[in-house]
């Protein structure tokens, strides 16, 4: 059976934390592939100013280049309306056939899961693979109370606690500071050449 990891996000910008998370999930869960799914219109970030979709796609494409098990999915960008994880997993569930799905999340996203659209359906379709985040409590009581059946669908990933965030990268670029060793070299070059995050 194919084991498919799904890692969604705005990827504005893609950074080494995303790639380490994807690789740790691939290795620990014996995943056949990890699918990076950049959000088109992330409804939980309505009103946020995002970089153009073509730039975010380009950064993911550059960042995963050369990794045989990493793929890029563009359908959330291509379809109109808000992007919902439940819709994406439902679509994959129907398209991929005999495939076990794993929704890869950071701990901050996991703790927010009860506020997502159709979280119970997400649990039915996919298992959750969650990486702890530096400084976050590991208390999942509130999530368990809101989502019956969570315990059997949750896997905690053993991952280095790396404090890199896209918002910090954007701020460093805006201030003219180095982002070397925070993003892949090709992504750093793309950000510089296209003048991203300068304003």
pLDDT in the model for residue 31: 98
2-46 confidence digits (pLDDT tens): 999 999 999 999 999 999 999 999 999 999 999 999 998 766 555
pTM over 0.85: yes
Provide the total of helices (H) and of strands (E) in the chain, helices listed first.
9, 6
Q: How far apart (Å, rounded) are the C-alpha atoms in residues 70 and 72?
A: 7
Domains, the chain, ranges and CATH? 2-163 (3.40.50.620)
From residue 184, how far is each of 60, 65, 196 by CA, in Å?
10, 10, 15
131-175 confidence digits (pLDDT tens): 986 655 556 777 888 888 888 899 999 988 888 999 999 999 999
pLDDT in the model for residue 83: 84
46-99 confidence digits (pLDDT tens): 566 899 999 999 999 999 999 999 999 999 999 888 889 999 999 999 987 889
């Amino acid at each position: 059976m194919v084991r498919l990891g799904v890692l969604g996000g705005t990827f504005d910008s893609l950074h080494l934390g995303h790639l380490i998370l994807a690789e740790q999930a691939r290795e620990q869960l014996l995943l056949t592939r990890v699918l990076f799914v950049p959000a088109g219109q992330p409804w939980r970030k309505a009103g946020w100013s995002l970089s153009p979709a073509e730039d975010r796609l380009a950064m993911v494409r550059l960042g995963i280049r050369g990794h045989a098990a990493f793929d890029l999915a563009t359908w959330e960008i291509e379809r109109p309306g808000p992007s919902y994880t439940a819709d994406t997993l439902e679509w994959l569930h129907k398209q991929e056939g005999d495939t076990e799905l794993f929704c890869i999340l950071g701990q901050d996203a996991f703790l927010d899961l009860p506020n997502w659209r159709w979280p119970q359906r997400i649990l039915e379709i996919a298992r959750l693979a969650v990486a702890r985040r530096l400084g976050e409590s590991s208390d999942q009581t509130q999530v368990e109370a809101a989502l019956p059946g969570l315990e059997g669908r949750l896997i905690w990933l053993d991952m280095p606690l790396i404090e890199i965030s896209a918002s910090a990268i954007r701020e460093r670029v805006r201030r003219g500071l180095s982002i070397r060793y925070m993003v892949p070299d090709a992504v750093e070059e793309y950000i510089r050449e296209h003048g991203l995050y300068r304003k």
